Amino acid sequence: MSERIPVVEKILSANDRLAGENRARIDAAGVFSINVMASPGAGKTSLIERTVRALCPKYRIGMINGDILTSLDAERAAAAGAVAIQINTGGDCHLDAVMLQPALDQIGLENLDLLIVENVGNLICPAEFRLGTHKNVIVASIPEGDDKPHKYPAMYRGADVLILNKIDLLPYVTFRMDFFSQGVAALNPGLTQFDLSCRTGEGLDAWYGWLEARLSGEKVPDA
């Protein structure tokens, strides 16, 4: 174990440097960017699909999707109106800054207002790798259970926005909102949170409003 930690630190620091380069490119193009992370099935793709449909064509949106295999998610975003690029990690459990570079080359940043990166479905490893995007958005969902912030702290600690999805399922599962919120507050006090349902549409307007405030160049407090 003693040999292991220095190696991990070296990888992370190289990643941070490349994330800084990505950020400089995104900033130079005047694009606002988010990194959407969640466990498998929390609803990342549904959220992105809804968001693209609501904000296109008023804003030009690009979507970079990271998945082990398939381009199912990128196809859904493209059908909704985004310029979509698929990165297949071939087994890797997260995106990192270097994987993003060829996608940034291809996506045409200069023609975009908003860049949405959909990370690999995983509540652990993506939290360790900065990509260079402006904000980390994590998507939790009601049927996942109320104990997730307690059990996956790094992801919640590093989030700028928390989406709590599938609130339409609250009547059908046991979910103690207090227990969930206590976990979140202990890790990330004051975290901006949107409770919504991508299925019914409830609560989505507040999320769109948050994004639009940033896209319109409004002076907004750091979320």
The residues that touch a copy of itself, with contacts defined as CB under 8 A, are 39-41, 67-70, 72, 91, 93, 120-125, 141, 143-145, 147-148, 150-154, 166, 168-169, 172-174, 199
DSSP string, 55-123: HTTTS-EEEEEEESS--HHHHHHHHHT-EEEEEE-TT-SS--HHHHHHHHHHHTGGG-SEEEEE--S-S
Which residue's CB is nearer to a copy of itself, number 105 or number 147? Answer: 147
Select 56 or 124, whichever has its Cβ closest to a copy of itself: 124
Number of Cβ within 10 Å of residue 145's Cβ equals 16
Closest CA relative to residue 136, chosen from 37, 210, 57: 37
CB of 22 to a copy of itself, least distance (A): 19
Closest CB to a copy of itself among 9 and 30? 9
Q: How far is the CB of 136 from a copy of itself (least distance, A)?
A: 17
Minimum CB separation from a copy of itself for residue 217, in Å?
Answer: 36
Rounded CA-CA distance 205/155 in Å is 25
Residue 112 tokens read as 């975009």
- Rounded least distance, CB 60 to a copy of itself, Å: 27
